[in-house]
Structures are given as structure tokens and as C-alpha cells.
Structure 1
Amino acid sequence: MHFELNSDGFMSVKKFELMLKSNEVGFFDSEEFEQIVEHYLETGKMIMARKAVQLGLSQHPSSVEIRLLQAEILVFDNEFEQAHELLNTLYELQPHNSEIYIQKANIFSKCDDHEKAIELLNQALKLTEDQADVYNLIGMEYLFIEDYNFAKDNFIKCLELDETDYSALYNIIYCFDFLKQNKEAITFLNKFLNSNPYSEVAWHQIGKQYFDLKMYDKALAAFDFAIISDELFVGAYLEKGKVLEKLGKYNEAIENYQITLELDDPTSFAYLRLGKCYQKLGAFDLAVKFYKKTVKEDPLLDKGWIALVDFYTKQLNYQKALSYIEKATEIDSENALYWIRYAKLNKKLNFFEEAEYGYRKAIDLGNYELETWLQRSDILLYLGEIDGQISNLEHGLEFYPDDAELEYRLAGAYFKQHNITKGRFHLQNAFKNDPEFLIIIEELYPEILQLEEVKHIIT
């Protein structure tokens, strides 16, 4: 159910709230109560919605519409059994009321029985005059079970009935994106634009599709049309800026990002892109200025901190870069990307224990890149922690079982521990995978090249 809160409805809400404050009971007709309850449901004021239903039923006990709103509140409160009983009672009174099927579907949806919910919504579809909303609900149920084709079909039917329903349009594009159907999405949007030539949302979405396909000129034209349709559309300026960056037109990109700062509250994304553009133009002071604004605007945006750190790293100012990555880890210690940079910078500064700690933290947080295992291994070898090095390499081999670089290092570590059997095993594996990486033994373990066992295997 949905009611437009017209001036009379607004007055009903005010009158109702005044009545509660004065502790005097006033009379409202059933339609007024429906508007009042619906208003509170839409604004999330559930306590007020319950009060309005309670008073509404005391004045209009036979009102099916108010009792349906009561069922909706029961579903919201997860009182599914009571809601079922109430809806079954209402079904006896009005078996052709589509809202009963919709509310029952809502219960099954909340209980993760989405197929049953779809079945009920299809029944509601035959009874309702507002088919667009029901198609939208069916589309959402198909999204829950990840059937993106059927979800897309129902959202399209919703949009065909109500071309102003942009939530359905966004959901359609979401399905196309998930199915990796960029070209199909473009065909659909072009068809939609034929009947809605000034839809800024459609132009914006078709521009994003062209961007994903690297068709930057067409993307740029689409975002221009979105801006013509709505010159205050911040999203179109942001996307246009991204396209201009790809085309190497950094000054024009800056102009578009600056417009977004004038039209709306500044965003960390706009600040970040401005910093990137200025860095490309060699305006390093301005780049740093906007990177700092990025992390101030959103301290949890890792791209802002990484941009600052990478900037100073490229400038070979490792100490400055390290100071920023340390600030980043203080704010978010669970970000593996931070710890990788922390480790690399400490290694460049010859702080090997700190570098090892950084790589260890990154691994603990799920960074299993080959380079992480290799770098940590070499640092542990330098620190003389051979047991730790072996443990690290064995763990790395679980992810990269055929990697020669790991095998050579592990062979060298076992030979250093005088574990000839395991050393021979891993050295033979390493040779089998890639004999050219023998240089690892020569660089990291030159002393073991004198061992007869090693000479024999090499020969």
C-alpha cells in the first residue's frame, strides 16, 4: 500500500500527534488512519505506527486496510505466526485483495523461502491494479536467489509500466553488469532513451557502460547529454572527469571535479581524483594538498592513504612515506595493503625486523601473493631465523605448490639446517620446475654450493 501524503494527510498526522500530546481522543476516518500509519512506516517511526494502528482499530475494528497495516508491522517485528493468522483471517474476508498475498510473500521472503514468495507475488499480480510495484517485488526476490535473468525481466516489466521508477532502472543495469552484458545493456538503454530522451539517469548509465567497454568518446558524449538533461547532476560530472583522465585531458578533468565541489558537499573521491590529475600534470604541491584533503574527508578510504604513500615513495622520500603508512595502520590495522607498503618501506630503510612484521601482518590478513612469501623469506634469512623462514616457505608452497623460487629457497634453508634429505627433495623439485632459478642458491646460499650432495644434484 502507498498513500501520497497530501495537505490533508499532513494535517491528519499533525492532528494525531497533537491528540497524543493532549491525551484527548479525537475521531479520524479509516482513510486518515491509513495515511497516518503509512507515513510512520515510511519514516521508520514504528512506535508511532503501532499507536496509530491500535487507535485506528479501536475506532474502525472492521477496517481490512488498517488490519493489513497491522500485519505489515507484525512482519516487521518478525511476529510471523501472528501475521499469518491475521492474514488468513483477512483472506476469508477479502480473498481477492492483492495486499494479502503481498504481505504473505513478505513473510516467506523474510524466512528465506523466496520461491514461495515469488509464487504468492505472481498471484498478487493477477489481482492488483498496481502491477509495477509487484513486478519490482518479484525482481527483488529473484535477486535474493541470484537469478539475474529473471530478476532483470521483472524489473524491465516494472519500468515499462512506470518509466519514472529509477530504482527499477538501476536494478536492471545491476543485472546486466552482473551478467557482463554491457552491449545488451547499451541496447536496452538506447531503447529507453528513445522514449525518454531527457533521462539523465539513463544517459549516465549508458555512459558507464561505454566506459567499461573502453569506448571513451561515446562515454564522454553520454555524460554530456546527462549534464544537458540535468546540469546539477554531480554523478555525471564525476564520471565525465574519469573519462577525461583516461583520454589524458587532465585540465578538463580537473574542471569537472571542481564543479562537483561547487554543486554539493565535497567528496573524498573528487579530492582523490584531483590529486591524481595534479600529480600527472607535475603539480606536486597541489597533488599532495588534495591527497591530504582526501584522508581528512574520509580517513577510512585506503586509496587516499595509499596515494600519499606512493607519491612520497616515487619521490624516494621513504621516511615521509613511512610516516603516512604508520598513520594509516593506526586508523585501520586490518588493511593488508597498508602492511605490504609498511614492509616495503621498512626494508628500503633497512629496518628488517619491522619489514618482517609488516609482511607477517599482511599474510595474517589474507595477502597470499607470491611476492609476499618470497620477501618475508629473504628477510627471515637475513635475520638468521631459519626455522621461521622454513615455516613461511612451507606455508607459501600450499598456495604455489609448483613455484621454483619457493622450492630453491626451501632447499637452501634445509641444507643450512643440515637436513640433507629435505634439502635434496626440494632442490630436485626446484630443478624439475625451473633449472634457471639455480641463481637463487648462488645469491642467497653460496656456502651450500660446496656441499657434495648439492654438487651431485647440480651435476
Structure 2
Amino acid sequence: MFDDDEEEDGFDSQFYSELERFEKMLEDKEAYYFDSEILEQIIDHFIIKNQLKKGLTAIEFAQDQHPNNNTFELRKAQIFSTTGKLKESLLILQQLEKNEPFNTEVYVTKASVFSQLRDHENAIKYFEKAIDIASDQEEDWEVEDIRFDLALEYESIHDYNNAIKELKKLLQASPENESAIYEIAYCYERIGDFDKCIEYYQMYIDNNPYSFTAWYNLGNIYFLKNNVEKALWAYDYSTIINEEFSSAYFNMGNTYMQIGEYQKALTAYAKCIDIDGDDALTLSYLAEAYERLERYDEALEYYEKSKSINDELAEPWLGIGIIKELQGFTTEAIQYLQRAAELQPENANYRLVLAEALYKAERFIEAENELETALQSDPKYAEAIILLARIKAEFSIEDAVDYIASLEHLSDLDSSVRIFFSVLLWQNGQKTESLLVFKKEYLIDANSAKTLFLHFPEAQEIPEFLQILDLNND
């Protein structure tokens, strides 16, 4: 027979007696009479249990006994929709729409089929029809369910603003609807309204204080808002609730890395590995934490371990290359950095790191090629522009000056590019132009002096530059 757990699906004990009789009928290959309502319940039971073949058998039997009951045809359309027979499902639904023009379930099913067909326009149209009919029939709970499906349909085409509108309507009718609260928070995240996103996640957490995923998502939003303290607070709550939730430890590690708390980052990444086992990316991040702590032997050990698990992952190749370069093994470092750049060809930062190593090895033409590739990916990458100008200056200061002068929207680039331009102008003998460029930048931001001295330490002994600093102090 059926155990108590099965009765939790909404059917009573009388139903299970009828279900047993139906199953026995099929087994004995006989034909008994069943009330149409009981047959509807039997079919729904098979659908709930995902016994779709039995469901279709029951539908065929039910249609023989009750040929005028359209519910059986609707269930067939729903099973066809579930099993990928979308065209067959639509044919049935088109006829049902004519026969039962005020049946909400027909329109919801049709919307679902169109959604699977990625015909989002029709899916939205039929969800809206279903809402209109359910509203007219004052079936509020149906309206809420359909409105939620409509919001998800908008999300599937990245129309988050319309999704938010539908979810707001749902929440006006049902303020405690947790699924809608959670979903609207996600939508606000997608459109970049992080304050609203936080508001709804907090609302959700008020109702579900032990939802570790909600705390985790809240932490992610605080991280995006650069509120590191709050991000760590939320991640910490997530891990208190679920000590085995590795994603929260991983993002906690990333947050600690951002604020320079490398030992804490290391601990967080190590916890991830304890939970999930060795993972190439996590091992690489763990290695980077060791690298930042200048524990290079341990960093290399974990980078190598990461690489042995997945040699197509760029991060360990980059990390090993950086450490080799720091240790003075530039030629060996270049080999690793070249592999990292090959694995992530669109990553401008990887190209820059490789170019810096090539520049150090005086392989100027190769370095120049890498920088030009980097600037194709990110035309405003200040560090790449400056290094490329520096390489050009190795051959001709005038060419380096012309290069920066020819840059489009020079005034929109990072100020460090214009400060370096001032240095090149001075070195090219264009002292008046150099001082004008520097003075303009310095009057906007006094920290420009630090950038100048970084690229041109000799400026600290040049009276003309010092005079500009003195004028500003006066």
C-alpha cells in the first residue's frame, strides 16, 4: 500500500484505495469504472510522481470513459510539454483554447510551451491572458502564481525592469511572498540598484534568518558596493549557519585579498579545500595568498598543484611566472607568462605582466607586440600605454612623445598617462610644454607629484618642477 509520506501530496486515504484499484486493473488487464474526478486525481498523482508513461495510460483510459472531460486533454498537453513534444502540446492547447476560452490553466500551459520554444513574446502574452482571466474569476492565489511565472519570463530575456514591476504587484497582494522577495532582490542586483537589492535581501532574511544563501547573496552585494566590513559580516553569518558552505568561504577569501588581509584569506581558501577537496582555482587563489605573504616556496607548491589538476587554467601559470620573475629567473618566467596569455588571450593584464618581463629581458619588439594586443582589448589601459611609450623611448624619445600625443581622448585617460607625457616632453627638450602639462595635472590633484617622481625621480632636483610645487603650497 502507500505509506504516510505519500499522503502528504494532498490526496486522502480514499484516493489511495482507488489508486490501488486502478493499478490492479492495469495489472489484470481489465476495465473498471472510475468517477471522472478520481481519474483526474490519479493522473495528477502520476504527474506529481513523474510517472508520465502511466499518466498517459491513465489519460487514454479516462478519455474512453469520459470523452467530454477536457481536463484529460489538458493533462496530455502538459505531459507532452514536459517530455519535449512541444508541437503536439500546442496543437492540443489551440483546440482547448477554443473549447474552454476561460480556463486559466490552458493559457498558463500554453505560455509555458512558448517559453520552452523561446518564443518569449507569445509566452508573455499568454501569461498576461491567464492573469486577466484569473483576476476576473477572483482567483487571487492563481494570479500570484502566474504573475511570478511572468516575472521569470521577463528575467529570461533580461528585462529586469518589467520583472520588477510584476514582482512589486505580487508583493502588494502578498507582502510575505518569500520567493517574490528573493527574486526582486536578484532583479535589482542585475540592474545595479544595490541599495534596493540589499533592502529586499534584508526583508527576506527577516523572515528567514537561517537562510545561509540569502546571507551569502547579501554579502556579495555589499562586496559590489565596496562595503568590505558588511560583506565579511554577511559571509560570516552564512558560514555560521552552514559551516560546510564553501562558496561563502571562497568569497570571504577574495574579500580579504582585496583589503590585504592575506593570512585571513589563506585561512578562508584552506577551509574551502577542506570542504570540497582540491580544486584548481581555489588552490591557485590559495597560492596567491602565500605569494602576497612572500612565502614563495609554498606559493609555488600550490600553483604547481593547481596546474597539475587543470593545466588549462591560466591563473597558476601566471602566478608561477610572476614568482619566477621576482626570483630573477626572467627567461623561465616568460615561458610561464606566455602560456598564461595564450590561455586568456583577451586578458589585457596578463599581456601587461608578460610585456613587463619581456621589457626587463630587453626583448622590446616582443614586449611592444604584447602591449599593442593588450590595448586592443582595453584601449584606455594606462599602465600598458605608459610601458609602450617607455619602450618606444628606448629607441626614440620623439617617437614616444608622438605616440602619446596621437592618442585619442588623451584628456579622458588616467592622469598617470599625462604625467608620463610631461616626463617625455621634458626629456625631448620641450620643457615649457612639459611644465604646462604637469602644472595642469598638479593643480587638479596634488598627488600628481608622487606619480611624477615615480616615473622621473630626477624631477625632485629640477627647480622648474619644484617651483610649481611651491606655488601650489603658497
TM-score, with length taken from structure 2? 0.64
Query: What is the CA-CA distance between 1:317 and the residue it aligns to?
Result: 4.4
- Counterpart for residue 43 of structure 1: none
Q: Do the aligned partners of 2:354 and 2:367 also contact (CA within 8 Å) in 1?
A: yes
Residue among 202, 207, 218 paired with 1:153: 202
> Are 1:287 and 2:333 an aligned pair?
yes
What does the per-residue CA deviation read over 1:179-235, in whole Å, with 9 as the maximum and x for residues that have no partner? 444333333333332332222222223333333343333322222221111104344
**C-alpha distance in 1 between matches for 2:425 and 2:230:** 51
Q: Do the aligned partners of 1:106 and 1:117 also contact (CA within 8 Å) in 2?
A: no
Taking a change above 3 Å as real, the CA distance of residues 281 and 441 of structure 1, as seen in their structure-2 partners, is closer
**C-alpha distance in 1 between matches for 2:82 and 2:399:** 62
> Are 1:100 and 2:146 an aligned pair?
yes
Query: What is the CA-CA distance between 1:402 and the residue it aligns to?
Result: 5.5
Taking a change above 3 Å as real, the CA distance of residues 103 and 235 of structure 1, as seen in their structure-2 partners, is same
**C-alpha distance in 2 between matches for 1:403 and 1:140:** 39
Q: Unaligned 5+ residue runs, structure 1?
A: 14-26, 41-47, 407-435, 443-459
**C-alpha distance in 1 between matches for 2:53 and 2:436:** 69
**C-alpha distance in 2 between matches for 1:6 and 1:399:** 71
Q: Do the aligned partners of 1:68 and 1:100 also contact (CA within 8 Å) in 2?
A: yes
Matched residue SS, 1:214 = coil
Deviates more, 1:104-113 or 1:297-306: 104-113
**C-alpha distance in 2 between matches for 1:181 and 1:322:** 38
Q: Do the aligned partners of 1:108 and 1:116 also contact (CA within 8 Å) in 2?
A: no
What does the per-residue CA deviation read over 1:16-42, in whole Å, with 9 as the maximum and x for residues that have no partner? xxxxxxxxxxx98645644654687xx
Matched residue SS, 2:161 = coil
Residue among 289, 304, 309 paired with 1:243: 289
Q: Do the aligned partners of 2:108 and 2:127 also contact (CA within 8 Å) in 1?
A: no
Q: Do the aligned partners of 2:164 and 2:184 also contact (CA within 8 Å) in 1?
A: no
- Counterpart for residue 21 of structure 1: none
Matched residue SS, 1:96 = helix
Deviates more, 1:197-206 or 1:151-160: 151-160
Residue among 367, 388, 395 paired with 1:349: 395
Query: What is the CA-CA distance between 1:379 and the residue it aligns to?
Result: 4.1
Q: Which amino acid aligns with 2:348?
A: D
> Are 1:334 and 2:379 an aligned pair?
yes
Q: Which amino acid aligns with 1:57?
A: L
**C-alpha distance in 1 between matches for 2:265 and 2:136:** 56
**C-alpha distance in 2 between matches for 1:96 and 1:89:** 13
**C-alpha distance in 2 between matches for 1:353 and 1:362:** 16
Taking a change above 3 Å as real, the CA distance of residues 68 and 215 of structure 1, as seen in their structure-2 partners, is same
Q: Do the aligned partners of 2:107 and 2:127 also contact (CA within 8 Å) in 1?
A: no
- Counterpart for residue 90 of structure 2: 54
What are the within-5 Å matches in structure 2 for residues 208-223 of structure 1?
Answer: 208-223=254-269
What are the within-5 Å matches in structure 2 for residues 316-335 of structure 1?
Answer: 316-326=362-372, 328=374, 332=377, 334-335=379-380
Residue among 308, 330, 352 paired with 1:262: 308
Q: Do the aligned partners of 1:244 and 1:253 also contact (CA within 8 Å) in 2?
A: yes
Deviates more, 1:227-236 or 1:109-118: 109-118
**C-alpha distance in 2 between matches for 1:58 and 1:287:** 66
Query: What is the CA-CA distance between 1:266 and the residue it aligns to?
Result: 1.8
**C-alpha distance in 2 between matches for 1:101 and 1:169:** 26
Identity of aligned residues (%): 15
Query: What is the CA-CA distance between 1:88 and the residue it aligns to?
Result: 0.9
**C-alpha distance in 2 between matches for 1:321 and 1:90:** 67
Query: What is the CA-CA distance between 1:122 and the residue it aligns to?
Result: 1.4
**C-alpha distance in 1 between matches for 2:160 and 2:171:** 18
> Are 1:439 and 2:464 an aligned pair?
yes
Q: Which amino acid aligns with 2:239?
A: L
> Are 1:122 and 2:167 an aligned pair?
no
Taking a change above 3 Å as real, the CA distance of residues 225 and 125 of structure 1, as seen in their structure-2 partners, is farther
Matched residue SS, 1:361 = coil
**RMSD of aligned alpha carbons:** 4.5
Query: What is the CA-CA distance between 1:302 and the residue it aligns to?
Result: 0.9
Query: What is the CA-CA distance between 1:400 and the residue it aligns to?
Result: 5.8
Q: Unaligned 5+ residue runs, structure 2?
A: 1-46, 57-70, 449-460, 468-474
What are the within-5 Å matches in structure 2 for residues 36-435 of structure 1?
Answer: 37=81, 51=87, 54-58=90-94, 60-61=96-97, 62=100, 64-71=104-111, 73=114, 77-78=120-121, 83-93=127-137, 94-97=139-142, 98-103=144-149, 105=151, 110=159, 112=161, 116-123=165-172, 125=174, 131=178, 133-143=179-189, 144=191, 145-146=193-194, 147-154=196-203, 156=205, 166=213, 168=214, 170-264=216-310, 266-326=312-372, 328=374, 332=377, 334-337=379-382, 338-350=384-396, 352-353=398-399, 355-361=401-407, 363-364=409-410, 366-372=412-418, 375=421, 378-379=424-425, 382=428
Taking a change above 3 Å as real, the CA distance of residues 120 and 212 of structure 1, as seen in their structure-2 partners, is same
What does the per-residue CA deviation read over 1:344-398, in whole Å, with 9 as the maximum and x for residues that have no partner? 21112225235522453264494241552662685499498x9xx97x9988877
Taking a change above 3 Å as real, the CA distance of residues 314 and 192 of structure 1, as seen in their structure-2 partners, is same
Q: Do the aligned partners of 2:184 and 2:197 also contact (CA within 8 Å) in 1?
A: no
